Amino acid sequence: MASFTRDLKNFLERSERFALVKVADTKGSTPREKGAFMLVSPSTSHGTIGGGQLEYMAIDEARQLLARGKAATMLDVPLGPEIGQCCGGRVVVEICAGDDALAKDLISKARQQEAELPHLYIFGGGHVGKAMAAASLLLPVHVVVVETRAHELEEIAPGIATLLTPMPEEAVRAAPKGSAFAVLTHDHALDFLIVAEALKRGDAAYVGMIGSKTKKATFRSWFLKSAGGTEKEFAQLVSPIGGALVHDKRPAVIAALAAAEIMTALALHESAKTASPSGCL
């Protein structure tokens, strides 16, 4: 996982002056949601409010605000042919000059949000596990690669947490609620044990297992007859991970498809917990 707090601190340390550009209100179709924000300095920027002409206008306005020494301003922008965008909605953007107090508040909130990010546990550090870890580096998730073999953890992408353990199922039991579990070890029996633990938790956002239809059917028989599982629990299992529509089995392709699948599952799980998402600030 990229450290969003570290990147924010680096931007603020490099910028003697900065402005906060925040989406204050939206109507209709818009690039970003209410609460999304970015920071703008005289020479660079951090974050995004959706790109395109809207963002260019907001950056220009923010730099003019900094140059003139103003405290705050606002833009009310229709996203239509007038600015060369066809979203069709409308965005109200608030822009205010930053100070030390705002910088500290931004860092504090970034730390809190980073601490609350969901967890993705990748069981297995083989070819696909390594590819999934690398594909997850820029995603807003805490990633942990769990392995029983020390040598397979040596080439995991820098910045990814690893756990070497002879009993990977214990990592399932210790995981926070709402975690995602991607199971792709070198041993089918170990896969079955880990997946069974994850399914029986009942609070996982995603449980995926690499393999074929035959492997999934074999797991189902074992899970129901020998592991004390139920059909309701089994129905949570995603296998093969990444879906079956794309038949390219290269690790990087599987990793990309699985990453999209997992992020969708995490988003749906989060939206089910709350009626309305919180803003960035």
What digits encode the pLDDT tens for the residues 79-105?
877 776 666 788 999 999 999 999 999
So what's the pLDDT on residue 279?
35
Give the distance from CA 166 to its chain's centroid: 28
What digits encode the pLDDT tens for the residues 178-228?
999 999 999 999 999 999 999 999 999 999 999 999 999 999 999 999 999
Query: Can you tell me the distance from the alpha carbon of 237 to that of 216, in angstroms, rounded to the nearest whole number?
Result: 9
Contact 183, 173 (CB under 8 A): no
Q: Where are the beta strands (DSSP E) in 6-99?
A: 19-27, 37-40, 45-47, 72-78, 90-97
C-alpha Rg value of the chain to the nearest Å: 22
Q: Where are the domains of the chain?
A: 4-114, 118-273
Query: Can you tell me the distance from the alpha carbon of 61 to that of 55, in angstroms, rounded to the nearest whole number?
Result: 10
What digits encode the pLDDT tens for the residues 127-169?
999 999 999 998 999 999 999 999 999 999 998 999 999 999 9
Contact 40, 15 (CB under 8 A): no
**79 φ/ψ angles, rounded to the nearest 5 degrees:** -90, 70
Query: Can you tell me the distance from the alpha carbon of 60 to that of 40, in angstroms, rounded to the nearest whole number?
Result: 9
Structure tokens at 107: 């860092």
What digits encode the pLDDT tens for the residues 10-52?
999 999 999 999 999 999 988 899 999 999 999 999 999 988 8
Q: What is the mean pLDDT of residues 54-59?
A: 94
What does DSSP assign to residue 36?
Answer: -
- CATH architecture, range 118-273: 3-Layer(aba) Sandwich (3.40)
Mean pLDDT, all residues of the chain: 92
Q: Say whether pLDDT at 174 is over 50.
A: yes
Residues in the chain: 281
Q: What is the mean pLDDT of residues 254-261?
A: 96
Q: Say whether pLDDT at 1 is over 70.
A: no
Q: Say whether pLDDT at 278 is over 60.
A: no
Q: Which of 150, 140, 190 is nearest to 170 (CA)?
A: 190
So what's the pLDDT on residue 85?
66
Query: Can you tell me the distance from the alpha carbon of 119 to that of 14, in angstroms, rounded to the nearest whole number?
Result: 31
First to last CA, the chain: 21
Q: What is the mean pLDDT of residues 252-279?
A: 81
Structure tokens at 147: 């392995």
So what's the pLDDT on residue 275?
41
